[in-house]
Structure 1
Amino acid sequence: MTHDRPLVVVNDETLVDEILRLAAAVGCTVQRAPDLVAARPHWARAPLVLIDEQTLGGELPARPGILLVTKGPPALETWQRVFEAGVEKVVSLPDGEPVLVSTLADIAEGPGMPGGLVVGVVGGRGGAGASVLAAAIGLVACRQGDALLIDCDPLGGGVDLLLGAEGSEGLRWPGILVGGGRISLPRLAEALPALRHRGGRLPFVSCAREGDGPSGKAIASVVEAGRRAGHTVICDLPRHLGPEAEVVLERADLAVLVVPAEVRACAAARRVAAKMAERTGRIGLVVRGPAPGGLCPEHAAQAVGAPLLTSMAPERQLDRALESGQFEPRPRGPLDKAARLVLAEARAGLQMSQAAVEERV
């Protein structure tokens, strides 16, 4: 229906082109009117009205949600007319482009969907199995609802290779032009590869074997888009915890640290846990077997200094499956059980946080 689309009453063709470009970038379809007379049938019912300074000079019918778009900062006399006309917001391009993108994206996507969840997974040492656990969590999550797996480690070899989906068509990080700011997940998801799994579908954003890895701003944009869309977003994070990992930890409902049941691995993981704690207080430890020296999970958690989520026995034939590109954790096997527990813990923590906010309100 036309009244569900923003109404553009702009005469400056340069501004019109910019508005249409930004609207297309977030999947927002607009309707245009050449003047206020032609706009009258849609004026009251459109979710947003965009005008320029020429339109501002006319008689604007009163309504909320009028946005003035200008080229450069408005003149003083323009501000005076803004207040008189009841304009709600002024956006000056190009500096105000992020504001306009965010406003249009809000309309395109509608209100945020409930259920959005962010889980970050970090290895306590190299080869700890963080990528494998992140992928397993993604597979469980996609069977339970909408999910998105994000590869944040450009030196990890690519999560598409781990999933056995390196031949799947779709963009990897080097081809995703996201510099930061608001993006639309439905638009992005159309370009992403996805893995079909037991009736579910897991779209993923993978690093490539060549090219640049993602920036922290790009990762933050994709994570936020997934959460707004109500997805469970699982992020495979690098151990060095640079900006790419920090933006996820700051947003994570649960940050999972994976450590083998080995004394030296726990010593390394303790330093990683301390760095994680600088960005989030929601850390849980997964201890992975075997334990060559008999180190029990509880003692490993004490050594690392992080609360124990669960321990995980070795997954039979996992290495062979990964080498052959057939990553398929056994139903009710160690990986599947650990992934289910991590998701349950993350959701329980999110519910407790939301309840605490509601009590304060």
Structure 2
Amino acid sequence: MRSPTTRSHTTDASPFSPPPPRPLIVTADDALLDDLLRIAAAAGADIDVASDADSARAAWAPVPMVIVGEDQAAGLAHLAPPRRRDVHLVTRSRDDPAVWRHAVDLGAERVAVLPEDESWLADRIADATEGDGSSALVVGVIGGRGGAGSSVLATALALTACRRSLSTMLVDFDPLGGGLDLALGAEEAVGLRWPDLAGSRGRLSARALRGELPGKHGLTVLSWDRGDLLAVTPESAQAVLGAAQRACDLVVLDLPRKLDPAAEQAAAVCATVLLVVPAELRAVAAASRVAAALIPLVRDVRVVCRGPARARIGGPEVAAALELPLAAHMAAERRLTDHLDRGDPPGLHDRGPLASTSGRLLDDLLFEHQLSAP
């Protein structure tokens, strides 16, 4: 760490580059330290610890957040460290006027009283570690009718992004779709599925979520399993999507045609939803009902027309009938079913109509939302 009297709670630094600064706890109170480390662990954060005011002042400026225990507040205030944001003083007594004076002297934004403010403090630590914004582009894919190929396109779009070195998460919101881990060939991969996250509330750690989900070919996937659970709450969907947005550059959602409350929550987060519609009259009629449910939730719904045109119906005609913009007309993918049955995921390679269409869609979406690969 930065000083012999400052110790690190955990470390996962690369041997080739210094680790990013971590939130700093300043206390010599072992009982208070144990509580603060437990709160940090709940936030999924690595923490550095300084046991005295001198070492804390040396590490003061570069860290994203400073948590000062009441036992070190007077000594640190005496040293007059530079004013900065995200300084919080932690105490067990709300009634000690000296604590509040030291908080003013340190320029602390808040005095957190334990145990009442534990949840608040965990959220602030997570914000300091992961950021409090949601930077990822979220794209939904939904079928205009059953068997339209929306899950295939969602998987191909996500894998195309991975091939371009974008960190990507594929999230399955269709409990009756059989599980997107099957489409990815990751059904045997160890990791969490929706039933494991069905009780999620509040804020989830982005790093923990990404680390616990299964994946393959560089793509992380949150899938349904083949069990009995067929729904999650909107609160669970919100918690998972918030963590996914902080964890990735791109989040691709496979949405069900009939939106339940959790899927409605997910659709509302999307910057764009792609409505996959085969070039057929009945498919257009079915897609009109799906579009009617989407439009109040999503500001940007676009049509992806799939397959050979029949009865003189092509992509422009399908989009015009639905009164939506046309994102792409995708030709049929030969032997797609054979490839899927072999466990060869769609979009894994850069050849064929599916891969080329996914590439064009991704180009357009990234350009419009000003997201670039790292």
Q: Which amino acid counterpart does residue 340 of structure 1 have in structure 2? A: G
Q: Specify the alignment match of 2:213 in structure 1.
A: 192
Moved more, 220-229 or 292-301: 220-229
Q: Specify the alignment match of 1:209 in structure 2.
A: 226
- Does residue 142 in structure 1 map to residue 162 in structure 2? yes
CA distance in 2, matches of 1:211, 1:171: 16
- Does residue 346 in structure 1 map to residue 365 in structure 2? yes
Distance 1:85 1:177, change over 3 A: farther
CA distance in 1, matches of 2:153, 2:337: 13
CA distance in 2, matches of 1:71, 1:279: 45
CA distance in 1, matches of 2:91, 2:299: 43
CA distance in 2, matches of 1:80, 1:69: 10
CA offsets, 1:147-188, max 9 Å, x none?
211112222111011222211222222224772444343332
> Which SS does the other structure have where 1:148 is aligned?
strand
CA offsets, 1:29-79, max 9 Å, x none?
22334554664554555442213455556662343232133569x449478
Distance 1:39 1:337, change over 3 A: closer
> Which SS does the other structure have where 2:269 is aligned?
coil
Q: For the Cα contact (< 8 Å) 1:27–1:184, is it kept in 2?
A: yes
Q: For the Cα contact (< 8 Å) 1:168–1:194, is it kept in 2?
A: yes
1:74-93 aligned within 5 A: 74-75=94-95, 77=97, 80-81=100-101, 82-83=103-104, 85-92=106-113
Q: Specify the alignment match of 2:266 in structure 1.
A: 248
CA distance in 2, matches of 1:77, 1:253: 49
Q: For the Cα contact (< 8 Å) 1:192–1:204, is it kept in 2?
A: yes
Distance 1:96 1:307, change over 3 A: farther
Q: For the Cα contact (< 8 Å) 1:53–1:78, is it kept in 2?
A: no
> Which SS does the other structure have where 1:250 is aligned?
helix
Q: Specify the alignment match of 1:298 in structure 2.
A: 316
Distance 1:90 1:209, change over 3 A: farther
Unaligned runs of 5+ in 2: 7-20
Q: For the Cα contact (< 8 Å) 1:98–1:181, is it kept in 2?
A: no
Q: Which amino acid counterpart does residue 280 of structure 1 have in structure 2? A: V
> Which SS does the other structure have where 2:25 is aligned?
strand
CA offsets, 1:217-241, max 9 Å, x none?
3333443334334522111112222
Count residues in correspondence.
Answer: 346
TM-superposed deviation, 1:332: 3.1
Q: For the Cα contact (< 8 Å) 2:209–2:244, is it kept in 1?
A: no
Q: Specify the alignment match of 1:263 in structure 2.
A: 281
Q: Specify the alignment match of 2:328 in structure 1.
A: 310
CA distance in 2, matches of 1:312, 1:93: 58
Distance 1:40 1:286, change over 3 A: closer
> Which SS does the other structure have where 2:286 is aligned?
helix
CA distance in 1, matches of 2:242, 2:368: 18
Distance 1:178 1:88, change over 3 A: farther
Unaligned runs of 5+ in 1: 353-361
> Which SS does the other structure have where 1:287 is aligned?
strand
Moved more, 242-251 or 310-319: 242-251
TM-score of the two chains, using structure 2 as the length reference = 0.79
Q: Which amino acid counterpart does residue 340 of structure 2 have in structure 1? A: L
CA distance in 2, matches of 1:70, 1:208: 45
CA distance in 1, matches of 2:171, 2:295: 21
TM-superposed deviation, 1:247: 3.0
CA offsets, 1:86-120, max 9 Å, x none?
32123455664454233222333469797x32111
CA offsets, 1:238-263, max 9 Å, x none?
22223322333333222111112222
- Aligned-pair identity in percent equals 40
CA distance in 1, matches of 2:128, 2:42: 13
> Which SS does the other structure have where 1:351 is aligned?
coil
RMSD of the alignment, in Å? 3.2
Q: Specify the alignment match of 2:125 in structure 1.
A: 104
Q: For the Cα contact (< 8 Å) 1:169–1:193, is it kept in 2?
A: yes
Q: For the Cα contact (< 8 Å) 2:28–2:71, is it kept in 1?
A: yes
CA distance in 1, matches of 2:73, 2:129: 25
Moved more, 171-180 or 264-273: 171-180
